[in-house]
Amino acid sequence: MVVKSRTTAIAPCSTANLGPGYDVFGLALDALEDRVRITRGPPGGGIKIKNSDATIPVVPESNSASLAVKKMAVDFDIGDSLEVQVTKGVPAGYGVGSSAASAAAAAVAFNALYNLKLDKDRLVEYAAEGEIASAGTKHYDNVSASLLGGFVIVSSITATGGSERRFIRIEPPKDLVLAVAVPISIEVPKKKTEVARSILPKEVPLKSVVHNIAGASTIVAGFAIKDVEIIAKGIDDVIVEPARKHLIPGYGDVRQNALAAGALAVTISGAGPSMIAFMKGNKNAKKVASGMAEGFDQAGVKSSRTFVCRPSSGARVI
């Protein structure tokens, strides 16, 4: 067998939570992508990381792509020197799955480079290792969406006493259109996701839990029957979003403008500060996106980047 010396993979950005699905729901988006090229060399050189974006860490242990690669190299007893070249398309720290895209592309590239033939669930586990670099702990919502594509439910099956994790993918409806507003002029803290998690309530009233379960179930049903209006009806989070909205200048205006322009639902994308709106078809999409940008603008957050996009397929070797 000829072992290749270099492989490149790409992975899309993603949104997590979709309102009530905190840490459980992810949706891959075709707006932006990261590219990871892994080159193998003679044994003994360790892992080197090169990055197109100067703000992304180049210490292998602090970078989501190289952390995933490192874990895979250890587990499969691969001692080659490895160069991990990351070309960033997804802005880091804004809640659109930037570190997850790099980690997902890295896991897929490494799997192909060494012909490991790992199944997708195992690749998600390795990509999630990479998330430790940026979020402090493993989160599976963005990485699973970025790796598998489509809408993904991170399911922890504990009914039998164990804790088996499964990633359940549902193909989104063809007429689902999203508008994402990324407030790139907001300075985000280095460990933004950790900060955004630290302010969440430790205890939650039962009626809020019931509300969110109803919403999350409605979203899953909407994806299953491919009905965008049903999906949108479920996007209403009374637990996490109320605690986080104060972290996002312009939250209220962005939301109101998007709904006024014809969005069916609006929520925080992942841990924020980006916001995402859901639409059926792209009739109102441009108006919704510019309304969201104006909303940030009204709050003094200039030059946000907006994208009109659709769900994406997952990470792949190119």
Would you please indicate which residues are annotated as catalytic (active-site) residues? 131, 193
Q: Per CB under 6 A, which of residues 74..133 are in contact with ligand HSE?
A: none
Span of 4-12, 16-24, 103-111, 217-225 interacting with ligand HSE by CB under 6 A: 16-24
Q: Which residues of 89-106 are buried (b: 16+ CB within 10 A; e: fewer)?
A: bbbbbbbbbbbbbbbbbb
Quote the CA–CA distance of 159 and 194 in Å, as a whole number: 29
Residues 6 or more apart whose Cβ sits within 8 Å of residue 85: 36, 37, 38, 39, 49, 50, 51
Span of 14-22, 64-72, 253-261, 283-291 interacting with ligand HSE by CB under 6 A: 14-22
Minimal distance in Å, beta carbon 193 to ligand HSE? Answer: 5
State both tokens at 314.
Answer: 């997952």
In sequence order, the β-bridge partners of residue 16 are 26
Quote the CA–CA distance of 90 and 108 in Å, as a whole number: 17
Span of 164-172, 191-199, 214-222, 281-289 interacting with ligand HSE by CB under 6 A: 191-199
Q: Per CB under 6 A, which of residues 270..299 are in contact with ligand HSE?
A: 270-271
Quote the CA–CA distance of 223 and 213 in Å, as a whole number: 15
Closer of 193 and 218 to ligand HSE (Cβ)? 193
193 contacts ligand HSE (rule: CB under 6 A): yes
In sequence order, the β-bridge partners of residue 256 are none
CA atoms within 13 A of residue 74's CA, in its CB half-sphere? 8
Closer of 186 and 261 to ligand HSE (Cβ)? 186
Minimal distance in Å, beta carbon 203 to ligand HSE? Answer: 18
Which residue sits closest to ligand HSE, CB atoms considered? 139
Minimal distance in Å, beta carbon 139 to ligand HSE? Answer: 3
Q: Given candidates 80, 125, 141, 253, which one binds ligand HSE under the rule CB under 6 A?
A: 141
Size of the site for ligand HSE (CB under 6 A): 12
State both tokens at 287.
Answer: 């108006």
Closer of 247 and 254 to ligand HSE (Cβ)? 247
Q: Are 118 and 75 in contact (CB under 8 A)?
A: no
Sheet architecture: strand order including 265-268: 265-268, 275-280, 176-182, 305-309
39 contacts ligand HSE (rule: CB under 6 A): no
22 contacts ligand HSE (rule: CB under 6 A): yes
Binding mask 219-258 for ligand HSE (x = CB under 6 A): ----------------------------------------
Closer of 22 and 278 to ligand HSE (Cβ)? 22
17 contacts ligand HSE (rule: CB under 6 A): yes
Q: Which residues of 196-221 are buried (b: 16+ CB within 10 A; e: fewer)?
A: bbeeeeeeeeeeeeebbeebbebbbe
Antiparallel, parallel or unpaired: β 80-87 and 6-16: unpaired
CB atoms within 10 A of CB 55: 10
Minimal distance in Å, beta carbon 227 to ligand HSE? Answer: 24
Minimal distance in Å, beta carbon 73 to ligand HSE? Answer: 24
139 contacts ligand HSE (rule: CB under 6 A): yes
Q: For binding to ligand HSE (CB under 6 A), which residues are involved?
A: 16-17, 22-23, 139, 141-142, 193, 196-197, 270-271
